[in-house]
Amino acid sequence: MNDDFEIGGLRIAAELAAFVNGELLPEIGLGQEDFWQGFERLINDFAGRNEELLVHRDQLQQKIDEWHHGNQGPEYDRDAYESFLREIGYLQPAPEDFEIETANVDPEMATMAGPQLVVPVKNARFAVNAANARWGSLYDALYGSDAITEAGGAERGGGYNPVRGQRVIDYVRNFLDEVCPLEGASHADVRQFRVDDGRLQGDCGSTVHGLGEPEQFAGFRGSAEAPSALLLVNHGLHIEIVIDREHEVGAADPAGVSDVLLEAAITTIQDCEDSIAAVDAADKVEVYRNWLGLIRGDLAETFFKGGASITRELAGDREYKSPRGEILRLPGRSLLLVRNVGHLMRNNAIYDSRGRQIFEGIMDAVITSAAACLDIQGRNWLRNSRTGSIYIVKPKMHGPDEVQFTCDLFAQVEELLGLEPLTIKIGIMDEERRTTLNLKRCIYAARDRVVFINTGFLDRTGDEIHTGMHGGPMLPRDEMKASTWIAAYEDHNVNTGLECGLPGRAQIGKGMWPMPDLMAAMVDQKFMHPMAGANTAWVPSPTAAVLHAMHYHKVDVFGVQEELRKRPPPAIGDLLEVPFLPDPSALGAERIQRELDNNIQGILGYVVRWIDQGIGCSKVPNIDNVALMEDRATLRISSQYVANWLHHGLIDEEQVEESLLRMAAVVDGQNAVDPLYEPMAPNPVSSFAFQAARDLIFQGAREPNGYTEPALHRVRLAKKQAVRANS
């Protein structure tokens, strides 16, 4: 384009140049010439290494494909397979024992345990809500979700339902009795709270009771005789009891309690990757501008709800009096991490001196770090890191060489931006098979930068299917969840994190709850994540963060980790167990058809919004109309399943085409109320989304590591071009 910005050998799209030169660089005090010259040197230094890493991925996969061609079926020789993987360098020797050395880590990452929210940074409203999800109402989370049953007159609809409200209050009082009990009484018995000589007292009428553990009282607001809020602390997380006898709820409560707030999403990942659709310079600027606004502290979004205009802004810090009456301030927002994209994709926002699109991961590293410089310089309105660190989550890395590449990249970004060495920390997503098998070496490569390791079982499942693509058909999805390798993978991540000294320095994390409307099930089941030794786990919404926070009050995660240190590590053979179907003929035609329809419906339901509307994370109804949180990781699973079964003849092309057409009509019906939706079934040949779904399936066995980005980006760009041509 004629209005592109050219400097040195770089050609930068006009939209990105305007943002960087006009908004970003003036904020952080860097000149254009120094920045772009340094950026070009960095590109020249790292582009070739990036290409080599991708070639090496393909070479390893080709060798594994060839091995599986000669050793097909579930009865393959396990020992021979392990020896083969060692021979080709896929499975590498572990380093000598060590402990990580990461310094200047905020307590939210190092010494606290609690939920981690993941949100598409491209959506400003969601991004602000997620940052503010550090604190949330337990009353609201219970009242507005299925965590409280609607039976017996406790329906959610309409105005305030006192029957449901009382159930919520009873639930919360029981929770408080469990995690912050009064000595000799229940929280439900209290008629008046007061602070007496720095100690919390609950007046129950004829008796007065203090906390069973007095040190759990952390502060208050208002007067000591009649506080308006009480601050408790348990397992490092805070609880605020709000007292307001003028409030509708507080007026009916014996103690005047109108709400109970939990410190919930102590960290939030602002996502530039799987949950967004960003394929060109305009998209990337939207992403980077929101990230800059979050760091600066002025990102806001105004929208209409219920006929009223509402503006979402970032919350300030919270202020209390300590038990002795001194000023106590607590963070009002989540500690923000930013997830960059992986090593695979290029982006047309910048072309290098050879006329090639640069790698998007390199661009993300530079520009998201540059925006975060405001926080390091202390020039923003609301601080993020109080220790002077930048937290970048790096996904989809395959093995220690790719982790080392990222650490080297971060070191040169620090030099470019004038940051102290090791300012940029790395979160390692353990979501690719080669990283899992070599996790200790990966952590060693980042031993002075690593701030979390997190299992991403969705992408990990997609990579498991693709890696063993040619060995045989895979287990169905429900059976896959109970397969040997998944349990070994989850335990291996925790064991390795403990072995490498992460507790007290970094997070050991677990994956996402994918059903945002099924909070009762989450409360019942996600308890297992802290019990497994994870001091954080992903949640899809602020409501889920509040409800999941209860688990960290009930489980002493760091105590669990101490016990788990005694556990033997999983066997390497269990990690390498490929989840092949033992007897494909036993599934039967009906089961196979249902599995096919379920996967294809999920593919179409997600892809149609990605391609036509640029929505990268969707609450997609499945074939049973249960809403599932879908992103590119879940799409990778679905497309790889169909590609795998097609490759091995459990299904044929005609069957896939028939299911695509039939499920397109189902998805059209599920989206009928969306005025922006473009139906696929009436004319599938002209539907960009439908054709993208076909590509994901029929080219799935050939896509690099089974990733969906190449097809999605290609078709989304074509869709945007067609829209421009017709406008």
Written as one string, the DSSP assignment of 392-408 is EEE-S--SHHHHHHHHH
Give the distance, in angstroms, between the CA of residue 651 and the centroid of all CA atoms in the same chain: 33
- Between 564 and 158, the more confident residue is 564
Pairwise CA distance, residues 277 & 618, whole Å:
11
Q: What local confidence, expressed as pLDDT, does residue 618 receive?
A: 84
Q: Which residues pair with 350 in a beta bridge?
A: 12
Helix (H) or strand (E) holding 10: strand 10-12
Pairwise CA distance, residues 402 & 531, whole Å:
31
Residue 94: Cβ-neighbour burial (10 angstroms; 0-12, 13-18, 19+): middle
Question: What residues act catalytically?
Answer: 339, 631
Residue recorded with tokens 């800059």? 292
Residue recorded with tokens 């031993």? 447
Contact present, 268 and 336 (Cβ < 8 Å): yes
Buried b (16+ CB within 10 A) or exposed e, 199-222: ebbbbbeeebbbbeeeebbbbbbe
Sheet of strand 10-12, all strands in order from the earlier edge strand to the far edge: 5-7, 10-12, 346-351, 357-359
Structure tokens at 476: 């169905």
Pairwise CA distance, residues 574 & 78, whole Å:
10
- Which backbone phi and psi does 595 adopt, to 5 degrees? -60, -40
Mean pLDDT of the chain: 97
Contact present, 400 and 394 (Cβ < 8 Å): no
pLDDT digits (tens, 9 = 90+) for 541-556: 999 999 999 999 999 9
Q: Sketch out the chain's domains with CATH numbers.
A: 51-89+103-133+267-575 (3.20.20.360), 136-263 (2.170.170.11), 584-726 (1.20.1220.12)
Pairwise CA distance, residues 118 & 530, whole Å:
18
Pairwise CA distance, residues 642 & 607, whole Å:
15
pLDDT digits (tens, 9 = 90+) for 667-685: 999 999 999 999 999 999 9
- Residue 302 CB neighbours (<10 A): 11
pLDDT digits (tens, 9 = 90+) for 361-399: 999 999 999 999 999 999 998 999 999 999 999 999 999
pLDDT digits (tens, 9 = 90+) for 224-261: 999 999 999 999 999 999 999 999 999 999 999 999 99
Pairwise CA distance, residues 153 & 529, whole Å:
33
Helix (H) or strand (E) holding 349: strand 346-351
Residue 88 pLDDT more than 50? yes
Buried b (16+ CB within 10 A) or exposed e, 149-170: eeeeebeeeeeebeebbebbbe
Buried b (16+ CB within 10 A) or exposed e, 72-82: eebebeeeebb
Sheet of strand 237-243, all strands in order from the earlier edge strand to the far edge: 135-137, 257-263, 237-243, 227-234, 217-222, 318-321, 327-330
Residue recorded with tokens 């606004």? 293
Pairwise CA distance, residues 602 & 667, whole Å:
9
Residue 1: pLDDT band with limits 50, 70, 90: very low
Residue 181: Cβ-neighbour burial (10 angstroms; 0-12, 13-18, 19+): middle
Pairwise CA distance, residues 415 & 387, whole Å:
19
Q: What is the pTM of this model?
A: 0.97
pLDDT cut 70: percent of the chain above it: 100
- Which backbone phi and psi does 601 adopt, to 5 degrees? -60, -40
Residue 652 pLDDT more than 70? yes
Residue 565 pLDDT more than 80? yes
Pairwise CA distance, residues 600 & 606, whole Å:
10
Give the distance, in angstroms, between the CA of residue 715 and the centroid of all CA atoms in the same chain: 25
Pairing state between β 335-339 and 390-394: parallel
Residue 286: pLDDT band with limits 50, 70, 90: very high
Written as one string, the DSSP assignment of 212-270 is SSGGGEEEEEE-SSSEEEEEEEETTEEEEEEE-TTSHHHHTSTT-EEEEEEE--SEEEE
**Mean pLDDT lowest among 300-314, 318-332, 465-479:** 300-314
Q: What local confidence, expressed as pLDDT, does residue 628 receive?
A: 86
CA distances from 465 to 395, 409, 589, 604 (A): 18, 30, 22, 20
Q: What local confidence, expressed as pLDDT, does residue 2 receive?
A: 61
Instruction: State the average pLDDT over residues 340-354.
Output: 97
pLDDT digits (tens, 9 = 90+) for 109-128: 999 999 999 999 999 999 99
Structure tokens at 685: 């040949």
3-class secondary structure, 391: strand
Pairwise CA distance, residues 65 & 82, whole Å:
14
Least Cα distance to 452 among 576, 267, 262, 288 occurs for 267
Pairwise CA distance, residues 693 & 659, whole Å:
12
Structure tokens at 631: 């992103």
Pairwise CA distance, residues 419 & 166, whole Å:
53
Residue 441 pLDDT more than 90? yes
Residue 307: pLDDT band with limits 50, 70, 90: confident
**Mean pLDDT lowest among 71-75, 136-140, 297-301, 303-307:** 303-307
Query: Torsion over CA of 59, 62, 68 and 69, rounded to 10 degrees?
Result: -150
Structure tokens at 620: 């997609």
Least Cα distance to 565 among 485, 627, 491 occurs for 491
Residue 152 pLDDT more than 60? yes
Q: What local confidence, expressed as pLDDT, does residue 164 receive?
A: 97
Instruction: State the average pLDDT over residues 158-169.
Output: 95
